[in-house]
Amino acid sequence: MTYVYLMNNHKELTFDIIQKHVDYLKKLDDEGKLVLCGPFADFPGGMVVFNANSREEAVSVAESDPFIASGNKTYELRCLEVANAENNYLIP
């Protein structure tokens, strides 16, 4: 399943916490879980789109992100139904 966690800035970010977050994203990518990620250009936050086998695993992935674990950002978790040519864009 594909999940998204949307992050809102809560505290000032330091270079150290940004580096830990980037290292975490690299780990997710190496594990084949990361789909895409990035900050919003028009909102003080960002998102991470990733694959997980269950909601419990998705919560663990989100809460293990150094941005969230440190309290620098809060998050909201959503399960995404991916629409694409392979599944006829969710039309039966």
pLDDT, position 44: 87
Q: Where are the domains of the chain?
A: 2-90
**CATH number of 2-90: 3.30.70.1060, 1.25.40.10, 3.30.70.20, 3.50.50.60?**
3.30.70.1060
pLDDT digits (tens, 9 = 90+) for 62-89: 999 999 999 999 999 999 999 999 999 9
pLDDT digits (tens, 9 = 90+) for 2-57: 999 999 999 999 999 999 999 999 999 999 999 999 999 998 899 999 999 999 99
Tokens of 45: 């936050």
Pairwise CA distance, residues 70 & 81, whole Å: 29
Pairwise CA distance, residues 13 & 48, whole Å: 17
Pairwise CA distance, residues 71 & 88, whole Å: 40
Q: Could you give phi then psi for residue 85, rounded to 5 degrees?
A: -60, -35
Give CA separation, 31 vs 10, 47, 54, in Å: 28, 18, 16
Give residues with Cβ within 8 angstroms of 21, minimum separation 6. 65, 66, 67
Residue 53 gets which letter from DSSP?
S
